[in-house]
Amino acid sequence: MKKTIFAALLSLGALNLHAVLNEDVEVPYVPFEIKMGKHFDLVQANCLTCHSFGYILNQGKQSRSFWKEKVEKMVDAFKAPITDEDQSLITDYLAEQYGNGQP
Amino acid sequence: MKRRSFLKGALAGAGVTALGPEAFAAGQPVDNRKISSIPFPQKRPMITYSDRPPLLESPRYVFAHPVTPNDMFFVRWHMPDIPTHIDLGTFRIKVNGLVERELSLSVDQLKHDFEPVEVYAVLQCGGNSRSAFKPTAGGIQWGSGAMGCARWKGVRLRDILERAGLKKEAEWVGFNGSETAAYYETPNFVRELHLEEIGDHVIVAYEMNGEDLPYLNGYPVRLVIPGTYSDSWVKMLSNLTVTSDYQHLFFMDKAYRIPDNDCECQKPGEHVPTKPITKMNVKSFIGYPTNGETLYHNSYTTIRGVAFDYGAGIKAVMLSFDDGKTWQEATLGDDLGRYAFRAFTYDFKPKKYGKQTIMAKAINRAGEEQPLAKDIKWNHGGYKFNGIDVVTVEVV
């Protein structure tokens, strides 16, 4: 999980467009308040490899089929190695914690 | 049991379903989201949706000005791994594929071996204002600050392609940036442009508002395609590949697409043929005052905002203080070019106490004007929202 990112020294960047930019700077970690719930451990193990919790909770409340599609998209389009069983349990977690009551 | 839970679900959605298809429309985007207390590199604190990949939104007040400061400019990446270090000594932009001469250009060469050009252009996420859509559309629930306008300096893409020399069969150019996925098999965030789309206005930019590009906005170089949504403005551009055939790509074939019909709309759950989002539609946004502010009775306040479109140019911005019954013409600011934010101002003297709404509507030179939010029809990705902006203030 690389959180570091490099950034220019601001003052130098503004003064000199050819400033040598060679420092690693960390992108801050933001503690998004994710809801705890059944199978949260699987979300932690499978989803955090690619994105923060913010990426989940800022999708808004969604239907179960929406979450099912999202999990499938992570596997089909983004090639995340999530087992079939974990996919369905993660969908359960998402529908329960971030669902809108729709199937 | 199954039937019961289905009914429960149906009931929860009754607010929209009972009203028929026209209810699958839009309201106002979520506004006044909390600004994070955690600033990102080279940025002031912004509305923060994700730290990895970084997703940052500008608060409303930023749009009281026609040029968006680099340290408040929105950020949206797709992949988790953004290089932690760029060494300009070794960084190269490669041009290959169907060319006479493969190129490997340093940023210094871009700056010195080509004619520099500058353009003011609006960069806007296709999903900007997505939170306006009801029911909730898929994707990050952006307010309206996933946009900004900067003065971009760089090199015409055409000049670079000319230097490489296109072979006769050349038709498409694929653009790849340096961000990478966590898994080797994940497709890169590659975009393609047909040669016909590459006019003189498309540039490879190395400066933004007179400074190096901020790291999170694509340092050291990014593609700038004025008039189009930002999903095609590849950041940290590292490779251009010229091909004869269109390469099928996830981010062009699956993501960032809208229904291919007149209303660019669909019902939730309905699958329809789609097309890529490309040209931006006409839009305006009030930067000052913001929602919930207090204005004084009989005392002038200058309302400020910005308007833009795909490049036809803004003809007028109209404001309404009576829920759209009558419209007053705002004063337009300097014309920074057809792809830029056009600032507008209006001196407003509130005549009644209590809640006061201010609406803004832009009209472009092609005669296209912003619709009311309620007249915007739903699409699955919540793309291209351009509803008339509404701000509510309190007059005391």
pLDDT in tens, chain B (396 residues): 333 333 333 333 333 333 344 457 789 999 989 999 999 999 999 999 999 999 999 999 999 999 999 999 999 998 888 888 888 999 999 999 999 999 999 999 999 999 999 999 999 999 999 999 999 999 999 999 999 999 999 999 999 999 999 999 999 999 999 888 878 788 777 889 999 999 999 999 999 999 999 999 999 999 999 999 999 999 999 999 999 999 877 777 788 999 999 999 999 889 999 999 999 999 999 999 999 999 999 999 999 999 999 999 999 999 999 999 999 999 999 999 999 999 999 999 999 999 999 999 999 999 999 999 999 999 999 999 999 999 999 999
d(CA B130, CA B142): 5
User: What does the pLDDT read at residue B23?
Assistant: 53
- Closest by CA to B119, choosing from B149, B148, B159, B151, is B151
Q: Which of residues 13-72 of A touch B (CB under 8 A)?
A: 13-14, 17-22, 24-25, 27-30, 32, 49-52, 54-55, 58-63, 65-66, 70
Chain A residue numbers touching B207 (CB-CB < 8 A): 17
With 80 as the cut, is the pLDDT of residue A10 above it?
no
Distances in whole angstroms, Cα of residue B266 to Cα of each of B245, B271, B283, B378, B379: 31, 8, 22, 6, 5
pLDDT tens sequence across B204-220: 999 999 999 999 999 99
- Give the pairing of strands B103-105 and B93-97: antiparallel
User: What does the pLDDT read at residue B79?
Assistant: 87
With 80 as the cut, is the pLDDT of residue A11 above it?
no
Q: A64 to chain B nearest CA, in Å?
A: 10
Which of the residue ranges A65-79, A81-95, B15-29, B189-203 would you say has the lowest mean pLDDT? B15-29
Which among B48, B138, B141 has CB closest to A30? Answer: B48
User: What does the pLDDT read at residue B187?
Assistant: 78
Q: Do B84 and A10 touch (CB under 8 A)?
A: no
Which among A4, A28, A78 has CB closest to B40? Answer: A28
pTM above 0.80, yes or no: yes
Chain A residue numbers touching B190 (CB-CB < 8 A): none
User: What does the pLDDT read at residue B186?
Assistant: 81
pLDDT tens sequence across B183-192: 878 877 788 9
Cβ contact A6:A25 at 8 Å: yes
Cβ contact B233:B223 at 8 Å: yes
Helix, strand, or coil (residue B12): helix
User: What does the pLDDT read at residue A22?
Assistant: 59
User: What does the pLDDT read at residue B100?
Assistant: 98
Chain A residue numbers touching B211 (CB-CB < 8 A): 13-14, 17
Cβ contact A98:A62 at 8 Å: yes
Helix (H) or strand (E) holding B94: strand B93-97
Helix (H) or strand (E) holding A10: helix A10-15
User: What does the pLDDT read at residue A46?
Assistant: 96
**Number of helices (H) and strands (E), helices first, in chain A?**
5, 2
d(CA B115, CA B235): 21
Helix, strand, or coil (residue B284): strand
- Closest by CA to B154, choosing from B93, B206, B224, B221, is B206
User: What does the pLDDT read at residue B45?
Assistant: 97
- Closest by CA to B354, choosing from B295, B274, B314, is B295
| Rounded mean pLDDT, A11-22 | 40
What is the ipTM, given to two decimal places?
A: 0.84
